[in-house]
Amino acid sequence: MPTRHGWAMVVAAAASIAAGRVFGLMELFVVGVALLVTFGLAVLVVNRPLPRIDVRRIARPTTVSVGEPARVDLQVANRSHVRTPRLKLWEPVGDKGGAPMQLAPLSAGEAISAAYRVPTTRRGVLRTGPLRAERTDPLGLCKRAVWLAGAGEVLVVPERVPLGFPGTGSSGRLGQHLRMKAFGQTGSEFHSQREYTPGDDLRRINWKTSARAGTLIVRETAMEGVQRCVVVLDTMADGYDEDGFERAVTAAASVVAAASAVGIATRLVAPEIDLRGPDVAPQSLRWLATVMPGTEVVDHTASGRTSVDGLGLLVVVTTHETSRAATTALAAAGPDESVVVVTTMSAAAGGKGFHVDGTSLERLRHGWNQLVLGRAGAFA
């Protein structure tokens, strides 16, 4: 493809030839022909087949959180027996830019590497490549673009705010609430034995030990904490602005990460998605990396409840405490479930359940940890 200088040379050559014929000046005719020959040689130079060039793209890492550093390494090797020409390389990165590079001539078998940083300011799938090489002739009259490598991807997942997870030993209001609920549960882990007192559950009597001791002996079991956590993400577009929705995604990712880290049976529910199982944390991050606002109301009971006995925690991440997602979850909560509503568009004013202000990530961290760990752990 001719460059701007190439087109100028073609026009100049045509004008010289025409003027030479009109005015009978052989010199102008020769100059025009020489210009055309030069242009033709430039076309031949840029259209020669390139030597075999292998390109390897390595993303470090392939999955990165928002704000964390990441880079892509390009390793270019000449696999032919001839020297490569000088090339201009262009690697598109995302939708709004790319990485320009200059590739000096490589001898046979020679390899070189280069790297560039990947922007991680927003979550999503960041597409890198395909790598384009542009070849020009020494005079810059023609250029030709070829593709050296296909496209790659870097997954930018939501950032996670460090959150504590509640248990019956937590000192916050939620921990105290769970401890009171646990007193009404029958644990399964043996703790100790003691003499029977009126009012004890007869099913807890150890009859063999009682026969040896000559008095009734009952088994005491350890008080069990939270056994399951369901995180419900409201994606209704009409209640969020852009920043509010991003905070909601971060809050959901943070709670899932906190629950999974302590071995709780965790589940993430949103419209058209229900993730659970041992790999719920990485699966949730991959899904949350690309989730967008929608128009459907989320219902965490539509595909059944998590089949784990004991205390449960239901965390609803939504816009306001009176949103449809919040009211639906509160109405559907079972007697053994404690509900926490995280609001990202307004600070909660109170009401049924527990509430966390998620209008900023710092308030989310402070409010959640204060609710779970108490004032001493609010700034942990």
Residue 321: inside a domain = yes
Whether 232 has a pLDDT exceeding 50, the answer reads: yes
CATH number at residue 313: 3.40.50
Q: Is residue 129 part of a domain?
A: yes
- The verdict on 75 and 153 lying in the same domain is yes
240, 297: one domain: yes
Does a structural domain hold residue 136? yes
pLDDT at 91 over 90: yes
Considering the chain, what is the average pLDDT of its residues? 85
Categorize the per-residue pLDDT at 170 as very low, low, confident or very high, splitting at 50, 70 and 90: low
Same domain, 301 and 353: yes
Q: What is the pLDDT of residue 19?
A: 85
Inside any domain, residue 80: yes
Q: Are the C-beta atoms of residues 368 and 166 closer than 8 Å to each other? A: no
In a shared domain, residues 148 and 206: no
Quick: pLDDT tens for 252-281: 999 999 999 988 899 999 988 999 888 999
Residues 283 and 212 reside in one and the same domain: no
Burial 308-336 (b: 16+ CB within 10 A, else e): eebbbbbbbbbbbbebbbbbbbbeebeee
Residues 263 and 199 in one domain: no
Beta strands in 177-216 (DSSP E): 190-195
Residues 311-344 have pLDDT tens digits of: 888 999 999 988 888 888 888 888 888 899 999 9
Asked whether residue 202 is domain-assigned, the answer is yes
Please give the average per-residue pLDDT across 170-191, as a whole number: 62
Q: Establish how many alpha carbons lie within 13 A of residue 114's alpha carbon, considering only the half-sphere containing its beta carbon.
A: 14
- Let me know whether 216 and 231 are in one domain: no
User: Considering the domain boundaries, does residue 168 fall inside one?
Assistant: no
pLDDT confidence tier of residue 204, bands split at 50, 70 and 90: low
228 and 371 share a domain? yes
Q: What is the CATH number of the domain that holds 102?
A: 2.60.40.10
Residue with the bigger pLDDT between 307 and 89: it is 89
Is 203 part of a structural domain of the chain? yes
**pLDDT tens sequence across 19-47:** 887 877 888 888 888 888 898 998 898 88
Q: Check whether residue 71 and residue 215 sit in a common domain.
A: no
Over pLDDT 70: what percentage of the chain?
A: 86
User: Do residues 34 and 135 share a domain?
Assistant: no
pLDDT range class, residue 2, cuts 50, 70, 90: confident
- Whether 165 is in a domain gets the answer no
Query: pLDDT value at position 277?
Result: 87
255 lies in the same domain as 211: no
pLDDT of residue 56: 94
**What is the pLDDT at residue 379?**
40
Does the pLDDT value for residue 302 go beyond 90? no
Domain total of the chain: 4
CB 128, CB 56: distance < 8 Å = no
Tell me the two tokens of residue 92: 């598109």
Residue 305, pLDDT > 70, answer: no
Are both 228 and 216 inside the same structural domain? no
Structural domain for 212, as ranges: 193-221
